[in-house]
């Protein structure tokens, strides 16, 4: 029988966007904002502020019945001693959403990131920094110690969004709206030299600019809107050009070479690495070397050992392991991206005892028949590895596991899963490889719990 209920639908809760609150700002929270509580008890997540400040916060998202509101600090009434004028004119309320902490001194940025990591470890892993083997510091990359008000130009890959008028820009915070820019201050010099921001990109949805580290290779990857024709690309430096097409239901783009090479050559750990257009490589020009050094120091690979490199990308850690474990060492890499698998096999062709398999870790690893290994590296995407993957790798009995994480919450959740599976952190190192943003990179070295507890 059809329902005869004709009761009216409850009216939608009123939006509070635009309403302003005077608040005293509390602690930093994961995501590039701080927590504040208004006099009426409402919780606000406020950007463009610092702990201890008193500000006027203007609501950007939220309704009368929301559990919390998102807001921007539009007026600073009582500034923190850590505040500096944001060097970039686009790092302001309602503008570019890329940089979270340009208004904070460099040392303060790293302290804030450290507070976030400590809070995530406590909340999600049940670990104090001491129990996790972390000394509480977030280390800058070599060369990134700059004076307050200066900005390190570190980003070797910049994804520009293109607005309806063909202007290059960056997305506003939590928005698809484009903020046109004339320069991104955190972009590496070799990206800035291309002059992407000064060109008309009508018909394009996005333009990714890539500048390799250790070579002169530069590339732009163009994603058209619909069937739009590619423009004639005339930039200020020689550059390869790729056209990207979305593959429906595949989760990976198809790229077509238009001009020049279909890859860039990166340098790290004493080797040259081919990375195809659109492929993953660390965006900070020092990051690959910093992370390889941290992982190898933590794992202490020995001659003749075996290892797994999970989510291996272009093969960076697999190559570092193979080089240090010698002719009798063996490495299996697993990677879901078909393009990256091709790159890894090319990059590691001179290591006969390195094998790269294509597919997801949770599907491929059980099929390999591997029942034990000495070392494991995993560098999963931002969401982390997850309980299922950890249940696959823990029984392999590795003497040490290196977990490379770009999200402290995902790291903390997975450390809890590792504890349940019998592994505890020996130590953690945190690196500020994304200056001016809330992001960081961590390397956790884990050991079997019985060894750690002796």
Question: Which candidate, 370, 333, 328, places its Cα nearest to that of 348?
Answer: 333
Mean local confidence (pLDDT), 447-454:
79
Mean local confidence (pLDDT), 164-172:
97
Query: pLDDT tens digit string along 304-343?
Result: 999 999 999 999 999 999 999 999 999 999 999 999 999 9
CA dihedral 258, 259, 260, 262 (to 10 degrees): -10
Query: pLDDT tens digit string along 8-28?
Result: 666 788 999 999 999 999 999
Query: pLDDT tens digit string along 252-269?
Result: 678 999 999 999 999 999
Question: Which candidate, 374, 378, 440, places its Cα nearest to that of 113?
Answer: 440
Q: Rounded distance, CA 440 to CA 139, Å?
A: 10
- The reply to whether 311 sits in an annotated binding site is yes
Q: Rounded distance, CA 95 to CA 172, Å?
A: 5
Residue predicted with more confidence, 251 or 235: 235
Numbered ranges of CATH 3.40.50.150 in the chain: 114-144+285-452
Residue predicted with more confidence, 10 or 278: 278
- The reply to whether 423 sits in an annotated binding site is no
- The reply to whether 150 sits in an annotated binding site is no
Residue 174 region by backbone torsions, left for phi larger than 0, else alpha for psi between -120 and 50, else beta: left
Mean local confidence (pLDDT), 399-418:
98
Q: What are the beta bridge partners of residue 444?
A: 403, 428
pLDDT at 251: 58
Are the beta carbons of 308 and 375 closer than 8 angstroms? Answer: yes
Dihedral sign, CA of 284, 286, 292, 297? negative
Q: How many CB atoms lie within 10 A of CB 4?
A: 5
- Fold of the CATH domain 157-267: OB fold (Dihydrolipoamide Acetyltransferase, E2P) (2.40.50)
Half-sphere exposure of 194 (CA within 13 A, CB side): 30
Are the beta carbons of 167 and 201 closer than 8 angstroms? Answer: yes
Burial class (CB in 10 A: 0-12, 13-18, 19+), 453: exposed
Numbered ranges of CATH 2.40.50.1070 in the chain: 157-267
Displacement of CA 177 from its chain's centroid (Å): 21
Q: How many CB atoms lie within 10 A of CB 111?
A: 18
Q: Which two tokens stand for residue 331?
A: 């490495």
Ranges 129-133, 142-146, 330-334: which has the least confidence: 142-146
Are the beta carbons of 36 and 70 closer than 8 angstroms? Answer: no
Contacts of residue 314, Cβ cutoff 8 Å, sequence gap at least 6: 266, 273, 274, 275, 279, 280, 281, 340, 343, 344, 347
Are the beta carbons of 232 and 245 closer than 8 angstroms? Answer: no
Q: How confident is the model at residue 2 (pLDDT cuts 50, 70, 90)?
A: very low
Pairing of strands 400-405, 375-378: parallel
pLDDT mean across residues, the chain: 94
- The reply to whether 379 sits in an annotated binding site is yes
Q: Which two tokens stand for residue 105?
A: 């001194």
Question: Which candidate, 123, 19, 107, places its Cα nearest to that of 69?
Answer: 19
Numbered ranges of CATH 2.40.50.140 in the chain: 20-81
pLDDT at 324: 98
Q: How confident is the model at residue 3 (pLDDT cuts 50, 70, 90)?
A: very low
Mean local confidence (pLDDT), 76-85:
98
Pairing of strands 218-224, 240-246: parallel
Residue 88 region by backbone torsions, left for phi larger than 0, else alpha for psi between -120 and 50, else beta: beta
Strand ranges (E), 79-229: 138-140, 157-162, 168-171, 178-180, 204-211, 218-224
Architecture of domain 20-81: Beta Barrel (2.40)
- pLDDT more than 90, % of the chain: 90
Displacement of CA 182 from its chain's centroid (Å): 24
pLDDT at 321: 98
**Phi, psi (rounded to 5 degrees) for 323:** -65, -40
pLDDT at 1: 43
Of residues 99, 312, 406, 442, which has the active-site annotation? 406
Q: What is the pTM of this model?
A: 0.94
Q: Which two tokens stand for residue 429?
A: 């190192």
Q: Is 406 a catalytic residue?
A: yes
Mean local confidence (pLDDT), 414-440:
98
Looking at domain 114-144+285-452, does it have CATH number 2.30.30.40?
Answer: no
């Amino acid at each position: 029988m059809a329902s005869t209920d004709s009761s009216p639908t409850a009216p939608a809760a009123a939006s509070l966007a635009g309403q302003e609150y005077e608040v005293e700002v509390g602690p930093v929270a994961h995501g590039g904002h701080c927590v504040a509580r208004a006099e009426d008890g409402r919780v606000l997540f406020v950007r463009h502020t610092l702990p201890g400040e008193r500000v006027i916060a203007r609501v950007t998202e939220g309704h009368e019945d929301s559990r919390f509101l998102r807001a921007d600090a539009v007026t600073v009434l009582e500034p923190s001693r850590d505040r500096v004028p944001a060097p970039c004119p686009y790092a302001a309320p309602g503008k570019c959403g890329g940089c979270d902490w340009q208004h904070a001194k460099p040392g303060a940025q790293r302290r804030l990131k450290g507070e976030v990591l400590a809070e995530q470890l406590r909340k999600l892993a049940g670990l104090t920094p001491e129990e996790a083997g972390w000394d509480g510091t977030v280390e800058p990359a070599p060369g990134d110690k700059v004076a307050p008000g200066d900005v390190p130009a570190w980003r070797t890959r910049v994804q520009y969004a293109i607005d309806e008028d063909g202007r290059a820009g960056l997305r506003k915070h939590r928005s698809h709206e484009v903020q046109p820019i004339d320069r991104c201050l955190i972009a590496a010099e070799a990206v800035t030299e291309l002059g992407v921001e000064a060109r008309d990109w009508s018909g394009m949805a996005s333009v990714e600019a890539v500048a390799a580290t250790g070579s002169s290779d530069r590339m732009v990857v163009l994603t058209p809107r619909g069937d739009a024709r590619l423009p004639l690309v005339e930039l200020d430096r020689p550059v390869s050009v790729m056209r990207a097409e979305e593959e429906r239901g595949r989760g990976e783009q198809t790229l077509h070479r238009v001009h020049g090479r279909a890859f860039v050559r990166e340098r790290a750990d004493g080797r040259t690495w081919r990375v195809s257009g659109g492929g993953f490589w660390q965006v900070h020009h020092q990051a690959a070397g910093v992370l390889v050094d941290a992982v190898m120091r933590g794992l202490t690979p020995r001659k003749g050992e075996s290892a797994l490199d999970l989510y291996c990308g272009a093969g960076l850690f697999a190559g570092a392991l193979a080089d240090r474990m010698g002719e009798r060492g063996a490495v299996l890499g697993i990677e879901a991206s078909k393009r990256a698998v091709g790159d890894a096999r090319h990059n590691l062709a001179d290591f006969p005892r390195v094998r790269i398999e294509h597919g997801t870790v949770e599907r491929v690893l059980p099929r390999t028949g591997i029942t034990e290994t000495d070392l494991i590296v995993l560098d999963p995407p931002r969401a982390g590895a997850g309980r299922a993957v950890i249940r696959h790798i823990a029984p392999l009995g590795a003497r040490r596991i290196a977990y490379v994480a770009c999200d402290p919450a995902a790291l903390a959740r997975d450390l809890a899963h590792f504890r349940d599976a019998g592994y505890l952190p020996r130590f953690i190192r945190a690196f500020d490889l994304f200056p001016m943003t809330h992001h960081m990179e961590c390397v956790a070295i884990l050991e079997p719990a019985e060894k750690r507890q002796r």
